[in-house]
Amino acid sequence: GQQVMQIPQYQHVQEGEDFTTYCNSSTTLSNIQWYKQRPGGHPVFLIQLVKSGEVKKQKRLTFQFGEAKKNSSLHITATQTTDVGTYFCAGSDGATNKLIFGTGTLLAVQP
Amino acid sequence: DTEVTQTPKHLVMGMTNKKSLKCEQHMGHRAMYWYKQKAKKPPELMFVYSYEKLSINESVPSRFSPECPNSSLLNLHLHALQPEDSALYLCASSQDWSSYNEQFFGPGTRLTVL
């Protein structure tokens, strides 16, 4: 079945450093969404990418969808303590309406 | 109102108990979901309801029984659970059942089975 892996599993940064998490799918994706889950919280939608090679920005966050639509990345510039949490990608192979969540990357930011 | 509410927040139950989890949304969404999330793991899809009909059951054991009484409400009935069923149970909703729709998650019910 479809599998979505993320690396790294965990990243600890100093406040102000940059951070990137990578999302890789075993199958071609029709679309990919990114969610953030704060510690003790629930997933909150960040963004969706649909087109091959698409790049979207939200303030300090940059999201990319790979040309082959099998991978995606989230880059945070100059991390802040408010960025702490687990970032999940979630994709669909288009065969069903199901979103398969990636394994997640937990970001810790030291002030 | 862009909120999904879930009750209770916490639940402790024995293996012989029967309990129910409740989820509500008033966004007019026609798709509702139950997910199970273990610590440090991603949410795992359990059930999908589309227009109040069960559309997906991800081979979930029958001790979990979903119910969608109307378009705003989703229940998960629990019976004879096992300790390994302890987890965070998340409800979500979306405009309709499509992978292209943003999912809105509730705060979850943290379940402990003794």
pLDDT in tens, A102-111: 999 999 999 9
Q: Tell the residue number behind the tokens 């702490």, with chain if given.
A: A84
- Choose among B2, B68, B60: nearest CA to B35: B60
Assess contact for A86 and A40: CB atoms under 8 A: no
How many Å apart are CA A77 and CA A19, to the nearest integer? 7
Write out the residues of chain A at the interface with chain B, using a CB-CB cutoff of 8 A.
30-31, 33, 41-45, 48, 50, 88, 91-92, 94, 96-99, 101-104, 106
Of B40, B42, B106, the CB nearest to A101: B42
- Choose among B89, B42, B86: nearest CA to A36: B42
Q: DSSP of B36-75, one letter per residue?
A: EE-TTS--EEEEEEETTEEEEE-S--TTEEEEEEETTEEE
Task: Name the stretches of chain A with pLDDT < 70.
Answer: none
CB contact under 8 A, A31 and B40: no
Positive/negative CA dihedral, A10, A14, A15, A18: negative
CB contact under 8 A, B100 and A42: no
Assess contact for B45 and B33: CB atoms under 8 A: yes
The residue of B4, B53, B99, B104 whose CB has the most chain A CBs within 10 angstroms, and thus the best one to mutate to test that interface, is B99
Question: How many angstroms separate the CA of residue A40 from the nearest CA in chain B?
Answer: 9
Q: Find residue B10's DSSP bridge partners.
A: B110
- In 3-state terms, what secondary structure has residue A17? coil
- Choose among B99, B7, B27, B105: nearest CA to A37: B105
| Token reading at B113 | 């089975």
How many Å apart are CA B61 and CA B76, to the nearest integer? 12
Q: What is the pLDDT of residue B1?
A: 66
Would you write out chain B's pLDDT as a tens digit for each of its 114 residues? 669 999 999 999 999 999 999 999 999 999 999 999 999 999 999 999 999 999 999 999 999 999 999 999 999 999 999 999 999 999 999 999 999 999 999 999 999 999
How many Å apart are CA A19 and CA B101, to the nearest integer? 27
Question: How many angstroms separate the CA of residue A100 from the nearest CA in chain B?
Answer: 8
Assess contact for B30 and B95: CB atoms under 8 A: yes
Chain A hits for B40, CB-CB cut-off 8 Å, are 104, 106
